[in-house]
Amino acid sequence: MRLVTYMLVLCIVPYFGLGQNKITGKVVDQLGFPVYRASVEINGTDIVTYTDYDGSFLLNSEKDFHWKINIKSKGYKPESFFVLSGGNAGNIVLEYDADIKKLLDGSSSLHQKFYWDSWNEAILFPRSENLLASVFSLSN
């Protein structure tokens, strides 16, 4: 009787994993850094997941041949990608959108507020003559 039970269990176990196909991959930016919390969805379905701190994702699907996935994240251009059977998408590179490119190139107004090279040198590093004059005027 035990042998029959074991055989039944062994025959049923493969059917539990048969209906689920896994799609895995990693989302990175143009510099090779992982993109955290990018949404990854299977096109035409409501199956959505988000990348982890390492940029990795895992999707489960009923479909078993190939998938079209859509990747979106703030600051990047949306990307569509085809995944063939096997379910490994590998590294998916997202391009920066126009606003982030402007910021990185230094042509944005934010660049002037946050980078040292654009600050007024007279405020941060006063000339030595002015500094000496102010020190001597304080001492008198």
Query: What's the CA gap between 80 and 41, in Å, rounded?
Result: 10
Q: What is the pLDDT of residue 132?
A: 55
Q: What is the pLDDT of residue 136?
A: 58
Per-residue pLDDT for the chain (140 aa), expressed as one digit of tens each?
A: 666 565 555 556 555 545 568 999 999 999 999 999 999 999 999 999 999 999 999 999 888 778 999 999 999 999 999 998 778 999 999 999 988 888 777 766 655 555 555 555 545 555 555 555 555 555 55
> What phi and psi values does residue 41 have, to the nearest 5 degrees?
-130, 150
Query: What's the CA gap between 43 and 89, in Å, rounded?
Result: 15
- Domains of the chain, start order: 20-139 (2.60.40.1120)
Query: What's the CA gap between 83 and 87, in Å, rounded?
Result: 6
CA of residue 61 relative to chain centroid, distance: 22
CA angle 85, 89, 92 (to 5 degrees): 155
Of 112, 108, 92, the closest CA to residue 100 belongs to: 108
